[in-house]
Amino acid sequence: MLVILLVGLSACRPRETELPIKTIGRYPFGQNGGLYMDREPTLVAITQAFEVAMLDDWIFEDPQEQLLKLDYDAYFAIVVFQGLKPGSGFGVQIDKVTRNENVVTAFAQFAEPAPGMETTAAEESPYHVVRVNKAGSWSQDITINLVVDEVVIATTTNYIP
């Protein structure tokens, strides 16, 4: 009886599910728009088209246009910024996005130039923009965590309609 109870209870626990993502834009693999000027990494959730305006000076035009056309009934977007860097050789890659109830986690990798690698002197602000599939029930405040090297390095909370 105890075994059946334990199996039943474990089946009732919320499960983490992976959400399908697709890249909308990425830098340094394109032209740079403006610069996200903070040196610390961060993430931004875009849940409605009017929110794209806050990215105006941080990402280049093509991803902004794609975000403006995004079907926000079916998707939302996550933008991860590595932070302002002193030269080239840096980069961001969002590998996967998961959801467990009202917590979404973006798992990313940050690239840095190899020791001794020649880099440019111009400051850069690497980022990765992905659209996230909103299958299932949303319409609530969602905490979004950015995890790099198994550590939560940034968090935001957004209402996702």
In tens digits, what is the pLDDT along the chain, a chain of 161 residues? 544 544 454 455 568 999 999 999 998 754 445 678 888 999 999 999 999 999 878 898 899 999 999 999 999 999 999 998 888 888 999 999 999 999 999 999 999 888 877 777 778 889 999 999 998 899 999 999 999 999 999 999 999 99
Please report the pLDDT score of residue 33 as a whole number. Answer: 53
Per-residue confidence (pLDDT) for residue 64, from 0 to 100 = 94
The answer for 19, left when phi > 0, alpha when psi is -120 to 50, beta otherwise, is: beta
Position 43 scores a pLDDT of 96
Name the 3-class secondary structure at 106. strand
The Cα–Cα gap between 44 and 24 comes to 14
Lookup: tokens for 2 = 């105890």
pTM summary value: 0.87
First to last CA, the chain: 42
Contacts of 3 (CB under 8 A, 6+ apart): none
Block residue for tokens 């000027």: 37
Closest CA to 59 of 38, 35, 82: 35
Closest by Cα among 126, 142, 48, 57 to 92 = 126
Q: Using CA atoms, how far apart are residues 40 and 146, in angstroms rounded to an integer?
A: 12
Sequence letter at residue 28: P
